[in-house]
């Protein structure tokens, strides 16, 4: 017996929107059982990085910024897309400096995840941990955010209560605890 997912092919594809680095596609898919389904999704530019960065006294570096799709200010962690030819650690160090003015003497990879795999892809986020922050440079003037140093116990409890909604912040916080890098 043929399973529905044994083969999936794109029968038709059209661009719904393509402006300012945002690409939305609509594909018609044909599954192994002959059924067809439309799939509308945001095509991400590729891999990204996120950094769970801590001071020596266990303060987590959070960025606080306005996120228009939510219509409010939220907390997240330093993160961003990888540039062509850039290794994940290079991207993490670049994003950390651009968003916070810090660099890290040591970065440790602690996990990966993908956002909304049914609505966006392919977009894998490589998550790094550091507790070796050093001031390096200035923020990127294009970044519109505030930097806050928040006690990790407060961040962890906020994640458990649902006070933080950014997926990178939530996942990185849980990875830090599960991998025993810092305990709340």
131-176: pLDDT as tens digits: 999 988 766 666 677 899 999 999 999 999 999 999 999 999 999 9
Pick the CATH number of 48-178 from 3.40.50.80, 3.90.79.10, 2.60.40.10, 3.40.50.620: 3.90.79.10
Residues 165, 76 contacting (CB under 8 angstroms): no
Q: What pLDDT band is residue 2 in, cutting at 50, 70 and 90?
A: low
Tell me how far apart the alpha carbons of residues 23 and 38 are, in angstroms, rounded to a whole number: 17
- Tell whether omega for the bond before 32 is within 30 degrees of 0, i.e. cis: no
Choose the weakest-confidence range: 6-10, 84-88, 119-123, 166-170: 119-123
Per domain, the residue ranges of the chain are 8-43, 48-178
pLDDT at 97 (0 to 100): 93
Task: Record the pTM.
Answer: 0.88
Which pLDDT score is estimated for 137?
Answer: 73
**Please, are residues 83 and 46 in contact by the beta-carbon 8 Å criterion?**
no
Give the burial string for 43-66 (b: 16+ CB within 10 Å, else e).
ebeebbbbbbbbeeebbbbbbebe
Residue 110's pLDDT band (boundaries 50, 70, 90)? very high
Specify whether the CB–CB gap between 16 and 26 falls below 8 A.
Answer: yes
Alpha-carbon distance of 92 to 19, in angstroms, equals 26
């Amino acid at each position: 017996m043929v399973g529905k997912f044994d083969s999936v092919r794109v029968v038709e594809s059209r661009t719904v929107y393509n402006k300012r680095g945002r690409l939305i596609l609509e594909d018609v898919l044909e599954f192994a059982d002959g059924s067809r389904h439309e799939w509308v999704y945001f095509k991400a530019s590729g891999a990204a990085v996120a950094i769970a960065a801590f001071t020596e006294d266990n303060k987590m570096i959070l960025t606080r910024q306005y996120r228009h799709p939510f219509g409010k200010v939220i907390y997240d962690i330093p993160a961003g897309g990888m540039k062509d030819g850039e290794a994940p650690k290079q991207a993490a160090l670049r994003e950390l400096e651009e968003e916070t003015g810090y660099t890290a003497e040591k970065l440790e990879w602690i996990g990966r995840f993908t956002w909304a795999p049914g609505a966006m892809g392919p977009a894998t986020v490589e998550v790094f941990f550091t507790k070796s922050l050093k001031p390096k440079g200035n923020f990127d003037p294009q970044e519109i955010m505030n930097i806050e140093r928040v006690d990790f116990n407060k961040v962890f409890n906020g994640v458990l209560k649902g006070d933080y909604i950014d997926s990178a912040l939530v996942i990185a916080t849980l990875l830090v605890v599960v991998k025993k890098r810092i305990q709340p």
